Structure 1
């Protein structure tokens, strides 16, 4: 299957470079365009990856400064406030995936889709770690007949910085939207102040002080499961593996409450763990979404539409790839708060 180069805008950054490496490992023959503002940095990344070309992105130009360069998909790893990558992708009729905007910033992308819904797929990749949380939660939810409550806790290790672009994006999100979108008794509310304070238990059982975070996982999972109560909390602390003397990792705690298919009360607790941190897990999910968009997984390419990552990720395949990287979806004993 011949595929035009995949454009990675911000491809020399922490998550972008990991994604490029993951794509190269899975698809050695696919060419990559490593786009950025710093040509020397992009060239260094392209040289490390192989079969890649560094390009300078001009967000003010309709063609991003690429001229007639063919492109099969556009992946954006930073907050593209001008929607330069999306406009370019829509004009070219190629898939677009952006991973950094906040839940309060998706209206421009939705408006763009509504005006040209048949142009190409648009993926709102703002779920925590681009689908790792939602795909794993929906897998755990298969044991339920009805889900009443979903509590998600993301533990980012203090040493898992993710690079300057990631830090800047988080600072922007926290400044613009300190309140946390939450579903409570079927109604969407915004937790703020003391109400936004939370606690969850890490994989090793350690209580972690956290704060509510407005992740799009909340609305996606509420729509997918019908759960009347959904909340997402995040903490930057010491991960369980490092607390036990090992290297840092990233953890996602998933607590579900409801009834089983027979109507009996059921409560479960799982954790998604990746031994090399959030960037590597994000790169895995971005790679798998791109594979699905372009049909690199052996299926037909994704039709034009507006998608969340979890709608494109094949859950069994994701869990298999996660395990191949040394990660896992681990079943834990429920803990009473």
Structure 2
């Protein structure tokens, strides 16, 4: 079965390369358009990736400068302040996935969806590393009859820069929203100052100084599990793998507490680890979302609607792909 090209806006960067790598592992013949404002840069990236085409994007044009060219999905890998990609996707009736907005700036996308709810699927892909936290957490939550609290600690290795686009996104988010959206005792609040400071133990037990981070994972997990307390803390430093002499990796510590299936108190602690760092794990999540949105796997494409990534990604498939890439979900001793 043939498919129209998937358009990757901002696809010439690190995340774009990792997304294409993950897609090519399963769908080597899927046509891809690498879109950017710099045509030469987009074309060079497309040549490096192989089987792709670089195209110049005109964000002020309703058709993005693509004319009548058919597209099967639009994936935006940078902060699209103008929502040009979303408007184009809805006009064409194709799925849209963006990954770079903060939880505090989703209103424009929601408004666009509300005015055309039947156009196509719109995915708010702002979860940490696009599903790497929520998908494993919801699978682990199956051991609970009630989830009371979820604490997330994400460690980014200081050598895991991720490229200029990633750095720009973090600078944008950090500048505009220093407070951290948190659910505490059933109430949503914003942690700031001393209240936003935190410490969590890395995979190897090293204490990591962290700060509260406003990730949309907080509201997604709180809603999906019913947990009355959910917080996300982000720390930077030396990852556990590099500390023991290896290369940098990315790790996410998931601590959960509540009642088990027999109604007894239960606490668990796990780590989601990827040896390649944040970009490959992000690219993997994007590729799996594209697979489902377009129906590359032979199943019906995702119906029009507004989605979190975890509502689309199949947990068993995600975790199997994570294992194929050398990643793991490890059970850790309670701290």
TM-score bracket, shorter-length normalisation: over 0.9
Equivalent-residue separation in structure 2 for 1:167 and 1:145 (angstroms)? 40
Which residue of structure 2 lines up, in the alignment, with residue 227 of structure 1?
227
Distance 1:56 1:308 in 2: 29
1:69: how far off?
A: 1.2
- Quote the residue 1:184 is aligned against: 184
Q: Which residue of 1 aligns with 2:174?
A: 174
1:179 Cα deviation after fit: 0.1
Q: How far does residue 298 in structure 1 lie from its aligned partner after superposition?
A: 2.5
Match of 2:323 in 1: 323
* 1:290 correspondence with 2:294: no
Answering whether residue 106 of structure 2 is matched by residue 106 of structure 1, we say: yes
1:34 corresponds to which residue? 34
The corresponding residue for 2:200 is 200
Choose 171-180 or 46-55, whichever is displaced more.
Answer: 46-55
- Distance in 2, matches of 1:255 and 1:27, equals 35
Q: TM-score, normalised by structure 2?
A: 0.99
Partner of 2:121: 121
Q: Distance in 2 between matches of 1:188 and 1:310?
A: 21
Determine the structure 2 residue equivalent to 1:7. 7
Q: Which residues of structure 2 form unaligned runs of 5+?
A: none
Aligned to 1:22: 22
CA deviations over 1:93-132 (Å, ceiling 9, x no partner): 0000000000011000000111110000000000000111
Partner of 2:333: 333
Counterpart-to-counterpart distance in 1, 2:30 and 2:263: 49
Shift of 1:25: 2.1
The SS at the match of 1:145 is strand
Deviation at 1:300, TM superposition (A): 0.8
SS in 1 for 2:149: strand
Partner of 1:84: 84
Q: Indicate the SS of the match to 2:47.
A: helix
Q: Does 1:51 pair with 2:35?
A: no
Q: Give TM-score, length-normalised by structure 1.
A: 0.99
Paired with 2:86 and 2:279, the residues of 1 have a C-alpha distance of 23
Deviation string for 1:269-297 (max 9, x for gaps)? 00000000000000000000110111112
Paired position in structure 2 for 1:261: 261
**What SS does the corresponding residue of 2:282 show, helix, strand or coil?**
helix
Residue 330 of structure 1 aligns to a residue in which SS?
A: strand
Partner of 1:274: 274
In the TM superposition, what whole-angstrom CA distance separates every residue of 1:289-320 from its partner, at most 9, and x where no partner exists? 11011111221110000000000110011000
Worse-superposed segment, 323-332 or 36-45: 36-45
Q: Which moved more, 1:47-56 or 1:100-109?
A: 47-56
Q: Which runs of 4+ in 1 moved over 6 A?
A: none
Residue deviations 1:26-82 (CA, integer Å, cap 9, x gap)? 111110000012222211111122221100111100000111111000000000010
